[in-house]
Amino acid sequence: MEDIIKNDFIPPSPGCEELVMSRIYQEAETVEISDAPAGFSFRSWVIIGFFLLFSLSSSFFGFNFSEIASEEGLSFLLPVGITIGLVVSCYGAVFIGSHLKELTNRFGLR
């Protein structure tokens, strides 16, 4: 029965192994290319990060802080600080996560 299954059930294909292996190698090359971060370049991420940090920290200059502080107390700065910290932390995490291979190579990490 084993002999019938090996020889008669699926007839051997002479060029199948080369075709399959070439396809596997071709797919491995495309995976390496697709690992490159898509979208913004490293430089663009840094420029946008500086713009984001500057805009978050300067967006509250239009407020009359003395009036808000007299009405609400200085505790109104806590949500502002938390918001700025969350946005900057999330941006940094996405930046590092999307450029992990570049950062590893640049800083010689393993």
| Average per-residue pLDDT for the chain | 76
Q: What is the pLDDT of residue 38?
A: 53
The total domain count for the chain is 1
pLDDT in tens, 51-103: 888 887 777 676 676 777 778 777 777 887 788 889 889 988 888 888 888 88
What's the pTM value of the predicted model, to 2 decimals? 0.50
Alpha carbon of 19 to those of 7, 8, 27, 29: distances in Å? 21, 22, 12, 16
76 contacts 69 by C-beta, under 8 angstroms = yes
Q: Compute the 3-state secondary structure of the chain and give helix, strand, coil in percent, each to the nearest 5.
A: 75, 0, 25
Residue 82: domain span:
2-107
Q: What is the pLDDT of residue 36?
A: 47
pLDDT-based confidence at residue 34 (cuts at 50, 70, 90): very low
